[in-house]
Amino acid sequence: MANIDWSKLTFSYTKTNTILTTTFKDGKWSPVESHTDDYMKVSTFCGAFHYAIECFEGLKAFRGKDGRIRLFRPEENAKRLQRSAKFLGIEAPSVEMFVDMCKQVVKENIDFLPPYEVTGASMYIRPTLIGSNPQLGVQSSKEATFLMLCAPVGAYVGGALDAVDVVIARNYDRAAPNGSGSYKVGGNYACSLRSLNIAHEQGYKAVLYLDPATKTMIDEFNSSNFFAIKGNKYITPKSDSILPSITNMSLETVAAHLGMEVERRPVPVEELSTFEEVGECGTAVVITPVHKLVDKPFLESDEETVYTYGDGTCGPKSLKLYQYITGIQKGEIEDPFGWVKVIG
């Protein structure tokens, strides 16, 4: 096992043993290659550099209580990557190739898979697809290179289940109406950086965006979906500019399984005052509870409306959902949905 202080892991880059690559060219994928170097040779004229012809995924591998290694719903990530690639007009790997490369990268970097005992730690897998042929005109790339990367990570924001303060950015958008918001493309994240940097300077951990068309409905955070608890209801926004989160989809299923009523619908900003619990959800965070949510007329303003949820700890229903999902991921409880893929 790698010489790492697992208890101090953050969500950041760590050099591992290998990365995997394959390139689609002349109608077929090349054999998968394993590289010990993180750097790759690619044309400086490639579409990824100039026109953001790039999409990616994020999923995790876990070491279970029984010592076995589990992937969480990799087929869903493969399908979402295919959907993003179709939007960009580039070739994507098959579901089978995607899952096989996930397994291979975990096995080749097994020394970097955190021990079961470390709370919130896992191996983060980052499948990435780029337009790789040289081009100058604005058009979809004819060639695509698929990379399978991984790194050991801890909690994305603070510690596992630490409640955070967030802010609404009314004068910024992460995506345009009828644009790329529902696809996992790099450009969406680039669009969030300006507002996220301002929010960080103000002491907030994340930015919550409103729907870009009317600015009246909750959309999502800069890197994760929004959910709320009201009574026995699990509520999450329905919007064409939101990335369909696999974690959120899983939480909806678990909530219904545990007897909660699930509502995926437009969520007006005015409804924020009625929620008992609010949180971020996604692969990187699983669940990050929100303690204070600040709404400003514009991000740089001193004028604000503050919504507070709980006492700074994770709310009881959010905690129950978190424990159920992570219990499945680590093999602590039965997986009634067939979500995990045991690979060793």
Domain harbouring 66, CATH code: 3.30.470.10
CA-wise closest residue to 7 among 116, 148, 175, 121: 121
CA-wise closest residue to 216 among 154, 156, 168, 149: 168
Q: Do 96 and 216 fall into the same domain?
A: no
Q: Which residues are catalytic?
A: 184
Instruction: Indicate if the alpha-carbon torsion angle 168, 169, 171, 172 is positive or negative.
Output: negative
Q: For residues 308, 166, 155 and 193, what is the CA-based torsion angle, rounded to 10 degrees?
A: 170
Residue 135 lies in a domain: yes
pLDDT at 159 > cutoff 80: no
Q: Do 219 and 296 fall into the same domain?
A: yes
Residue 285, SS3 per DSSP: coil
Q: Do 140 and 251 fall into the same domain?
A: no
Predicted model pTM: 0.96
Residue 273 lies in a domain: yes
pLDDT digits (tens, 9 = 90+) for 182-202: 999 999 999 999 999 999 999
Are 207 and 196 contacting, i.e. CB atoms less than 8 angstroms apart? yes
pLDDT at 102 > cutoff 80: yes
Give the amino acid at 137.
Answer: G
Q: Packing angle between helix 74-88 and helix 246-257, nearest 10 degrees? A: 140
Domain region containing 108: 6-153
Residue 244 has φ and ψ, to the nearest 5°, of: -70, 100
Cα(214)–Cα(217) distance, rounded to whole angstroms?
7
pLDDT digits (tens, 9 = 90+) for 211-257: 999 999 999 999 999 999 999 999 999 999 999 999 999 999 999 99
pLDDT digits (tens, 9 = 90+) for 270-309: 999 999 999 999 998 889 999 999 999 999 999 999 999 9
Domain end point (choices 128, 153, 178): 153
Q: Do 206 and 316 fall into the same domain?
A: yes
Mode of pairing for the β-strands spanning 206-210 and 164-168: parallel
Residue 335 lies in a domain: no
**pLDDT at residue 119 in the model:** 82
C-alpha pair distances (Å), 11 with each of 89, 103, 120, 278, 288: 31, 21, 10, 22, 14
Burial class (CB in 10 A: 0-12, 13-18, 19+), 168: buried
Q: Do 132 and 228 fall into the same domain?
A: no
Are 109 and 17 contacting, i.e. CB atoms less than 8 angstroms apart? yes
Residue 270 lies in a domain: yes
CA-wise closest residue to 12 among 113, 169, 154: 154
**pLDDT at residue 342 in the model:** 96
Number of domains in the chain: 2
C-alpha pair distances (Å), 171 with each of 79, 139, 295, 340: 33, 31, 11, 40
Q: Do 133 and 10 fall into the same domain?
A: yes
> In 10 A of CB 173, how many CB atoms?
22
Domain end point (choices 111, 133, 153): 153
Q: Do 128 and 234 fall into the same domain?
A: no
CA-wise closest residue to 55 among 167, 122, 131: 131
pLDDT digits (tens, 9 = 90+) for 22-78: 999 999 999 999 999 999 999 999 999 999 999 999 999 999 989 999 999 999 999
Q: Do 239 and 267 fall into the same domain?
A: yes
